[in-house]
Chains A and B, each alone.
Chain A
Amino acid sequence: MIGASQHELHPDAELLNAFAERALGERERDQVLIHLAACRRCRQVVALAHQAVGPEHVNLEQVELEEVALPTAAAPAVAASVPARTALRRPWWRNWHFAWIPASALVATAGFAVYLHVARVAHNAELAQNNRPVVQFNKTTAQPAPQEQPKALPPAPSSVLVAQNQRERAAKTPTEARREPKSLYGGEGGQAPSEAEQQAVVNGLGAPPPRDFERAEKSEALPEPAAPPPPMAAAELPPPAAAQTVVVTQSENAPQTVSSQQIMRIESPSAAEAKAPQTTSTSVAASAAKKQRQGELKELAEQDRQLQATAARASNRQSSGPAPAAPTTAAVYRRQTETRGASIAAFAALHGAEAAGRPIHLPSGLAVVSTASANHRMLAIDKAGTLFLSEDSGLNWHPVRAQWPGRAILVRAVSVPAPAATPSQFAENSTGAAPVAAPAATFFEIVNDKNQVFQSTDGTSWVAK
């Protein structure tokens, strides 16, 4: 077959190339296709021409093929708007095809995760802002944050206890702080706030014991059957009445223990009683307030009894052998002891430079349950209920013989002003001057586990009240 005749029989290179590049119309393409179906030579030519296409030309030519293979009907409009061969490259995202589906799902998932994260962070920040350590008294100014207070200038006694507790909590690692609510009653759930509570009550300071606060946390974490009574919600608490209302907001470890943050309103003994050592008169004693106070003391005594029983059980189990709950109960006891030590240190800081920063070590070696001091005399009750007296601001201690039934659980110092001069005494005063108020008398009181109160002026001789 000579060349000329072959050119007549086969489509020329122009048509074959245009066919391969999809540049032909439907009619011409069908004609070339009919020929290719029957002509092996032209099929070989087309196949070889495709084979020679370099990798760098494949994409461009494929694009060109798709661009020029427009339907005849739509071609004029498209061609009129787009000059030929000028916009051959497609956008990069056109090649994604079905990859858009998983990509969209991934983006949506990531967006949702970011949204959750942002919402949680915002929530944490809001809680952290709301949970700044603020101690508010209804008639006093708010105390500064505990972290900002210099140690040499302790704030009011109640806030000292709160600040001490906050520092203690802040000293924990975030992991410990996060674990703490879960370990309530079975682990490290500290009973220490009971010490602070007792201190506050004994000293009449109305300090907000964080005990209820911690109970509020722990009651959410562990539904322990043997747990102490569930915490009272703020709405369930009795109205403050004349009592000193302390709003304590704990913010330590805010990011880690956001869920355990609570806002507590703790009702302390009445403000009149709290200020009694300094300001009250003998007529303070409204019987209603006294009954209320006694009821509170009774409740506190009951709670403390439960705690001590738990600690005793832990000690017994540790001594008798390993028990499933022993480690956790022992941890409760250890935690209780440590916290009490910290509270006592804070208390000592209030009552003398000698005792500041020095923990109380009783001869019995047991932990201190309650302390009181007045006129360089300090009384302390250990967890066994034994009363100890120190006459040198806590340096040396010696036990006091029990003169009361049961076990002592609370000791406190009460300051009562001397009664005013009687008219006869006034008459005996020849000078006619106004009577001079007698100095206030300070005595100690002990509350036993039967809620009986005994008084003593020197800490050694006790009589029932």
Chain B
Amino acid sequence: MAPTESVAAAAPAARAGIEALPPALDPALLAELWRASDATAWGLDAGEFARILLEVGSVSNYGLASGEAVTPEHQAVFFRRLCLADLVLARACAKGHERAWQHFVATFRQPLIRAAIAITGTESLGRDLADQLYAELYGLTTRDGERRCPLASYRGRGSLMGWLRTTLAQRHVDHHRRTRREESLEEFDAPAPDPSPLAQPPELAQLQRAVEDALSRCNPEERFLLAAYYLDGRTLFEIGRTLGFHEATASRKLQRTTKEIRRQVLGNLEKSGLSRRAAAEAMGADPRDLNVNLKKLLQKSQTDSFNDQTAT
């Protein structure tokens, strides 16, 4: 059945479902979303479609902070931003709809393999990664006797293909991190602890505190720029692509951030009692003499879990 025909045929059912909706969802909005989603092609009725929407919205509180009141306008904006076609397809696949699976395989099977190969860098590892994820998506894994499909966690905030790529990347990174820790002890040559750590000169201690204070004042984007560029060694193009602006913009932002950090470090040193000239000389200290761990400084805010952060 063609999608248009299916929509037309399912119109009475949709009207029936809309009448049974919870009062939180505007029927006109639901009808609009229903038409845009083409959910009837995958055997979803309007009631089920509405329940999926409400579930997706309630998980993230429609993009608002937890506890914040949701207005119909926010609700409409949130729903209209969703990838409804991908959402209903994923939910239909999670339910085991045969035609939805055929469509999913025809549409996403090859891109999934290509993405896995691109992530792993080799074809064999890529195919293994893709097959593993594909088996999970098909619902071969069960928990407590219930078939579990990762597609059920897809909420349509981004594209389904993007979600699949991110899932592949997550699994690849986690696998890499796990296998790296499984290094044999014979090959691991741990450095001996420093028997007698020297006392740090007061100038360097002041400089360390000034740097920590300056870094703590950076906003999230600046911190991400510093971490991605200096810690991960990402290129400006990759950083700009991730944040959604041009690499030249990334370069300017990075330059501005480092300049501002230097200015704040100088200011902190002057506040600590050093003259301007002494502060400038302290800035010329060898970084290896400083006991500043940028990784720790940048991860300082990562003390709580992400869910705890989002809840606040």
Please determine whether B302 and A39 come into contact, CB atoms closer than 8 angstroms: yes
Binds A, one of B98-106, B160-168, B204-212: B160-168
Contact B241 A50 (CB under 8 A): yes
A54 near B: Cβ within 8 Å? Answer: yes
Candidate in B166, B228, B234 with the most chain A CB atoms within 10 angstroms:
B166
Binds B, one of A12-20, A108-116, A270-278, A374-382: A12-20
- Does the CB pair A21–B114 fall under 8 Å? no
Contact of B162 among A27, A61, A86 (CB under 8 A): A61
Give chain B nearest CB distance to A84 CB in angstroms.
4
Please determine whether B232 and A20 come into contact, CB atoms closer than 8 angstroms: no
- Contact A36/B224 with A84-B84, A86-B36 known, Cβ cut-off 8 Å: yes
Q: Is the CB of A33 within 8 A of B83?
A: no
Those of A111-164 within 8 Å (CB) of chain B: none
B242→A20 contact, CB < 8 A: yes
Say which residue of B159, B221, B227, B299 sits within 8 Å of A61 (CB atoms).
B159
* Chain A residues with CB under 8 A of B81: 23, 68, 75, 79, 84
Kindly provide the distance from the CB of A7 to the nearest chain B CB, expressed in whole angstroms: 9
Q: How far is the CA of A44 from the CA of B65 in the complex (A)?
A: 27
| Chain B residues near A83 (CB-CB < 8 A) | 32, 36, 80
Option from A8, A49, A52 in Cβ contact (under 8 Å) with B305: A8
A45-70: CB near B (< 8 Å → 1, else 0) gives 11111111110010001001100110
| Residues A18 and B158 in contact, CB atoms below 8 Å apart | yes
Q: Which of B3-11, B12-20, B170-178, B259-267 contacts A (4 or more CB under 8 A)?
A: B170-178
Does A231 sit at the interface, judged by CB under 8 A? no
Chain B contacts for A37, CB-based, 8 A: 220-221, 223-224, 226-227, 298, 301
Q: Is B82 an interface residue (CB 8 A)?
A: yes
Contact at A49–B309, with CB atoms within 8 Å? no
Which residue of chain B lies nearest to A29 when distances are taken between CB atoms in the complex?
B220
Inside 8 A of B309's CB, which chain A residues have their CB? 31, 34-35
- Interface pair A8/B77, CB less than 8 Å apart: no
Q: Does any Cβ of A come within 8 Å of B188's Cβ?
A: no
Nearest CB in chain A: distance from B29 CB, A: 10
Q: Which of B149-157, B190-198, B247-255, B281-289 is found at the contact surface with chain A?
A: B149-157
A80 in the interface (beta carbon within 8 A): yes
Cα distance A33–B244 in the bound complex, in angstroms? 12
A9, A12, A52: the one contacting B165 at CB < 8 Å is A52
Please tell me if the beta carbons of A22 and B232 are within 8 angstroms of each other in the complex: no
Bound CA span A53–B177, Å: 22
Is the CB of A354 closer than 8 A to any CB of chain B?
Answer: no
- Asked if B244 and A22 sit within 8 Å, CB to CB, the answer is yes
Chain B residue nearest to A65 in the complex (CB): B244
A19 to chain B minimum Cβ distance, whole angstroms, is 8
Q: CB distance B118 to A52 under 8 Å? A: yes
Residue pair A27, B165 in contact (C-beta under 8 Å): no
Measured in the bound complex, the distance between the Cα atoms of B196 and A149 in whole Å is 123
If A36-B224, A37-B220, A69-B244 touch, does A8 touch B159 (CB 8 Å cutoff)?
A: no
Determine the residue in chain A with the shortest Cβ distance to B36.
Answer: A83
Q: Are B232 and A44 in contact (CB under 8 A)?
A: yes
Q: Chain B's nearest CB lies how many Å from the CB of A273?
A: 90
- Complex contacts, A36 vs chain B, CB 8 Å: 220, 224, 227
Asked if B307 is at the interface (CB within 8 A of a chain A CB), the reply is: yes
Q: B299 — nearest CB in chain A belongs to which residue?
A: A38
B66, chain A: closest CB distance, angstroms: 11
Return chain A residues, CB-CB under 8 Å to B161: 57
Contacts of A27 in B (CB 8 A): 63-65
A11: interface (CB < 8 Å)? yes
> Which of these, A6, A24, A47, A80, contacts B174 with CB under 8 Å?
A6
- The answer to whether B306 and A20 touch across the interface, beta carbons within 8 angstroms, is no
Q: Are B63 and A20 in contact (CB under 8 A)?
A: no
The 7 closest A-B pairs by CB, nearest first: A37-B223, A38-B302, A18-B157, A48-B169, A52-B115, A17-B158, A84-B80
13 contacts between A and B (CB under 8 A): A17-B157, A23-B158, A28-B60, A28-B63, A31-B310, A35-B302, A39-B302, A43-B227, A49-B119, A51-B118, A52-B165, A61-B162, A85-B85
Known contacts A13-B167, A44-B232; 18 additional CB pairs below 8 A are A22-B244, A27-B64, A35-B306, A38-B227, A43-B227, A45-B173, A48-B119, A49-B119, A49-B169, A52-B114, A52-B119, A53-B165, A54-B118, A65-B244, A69-B244, A80-B76, A84-B82, A86-B36
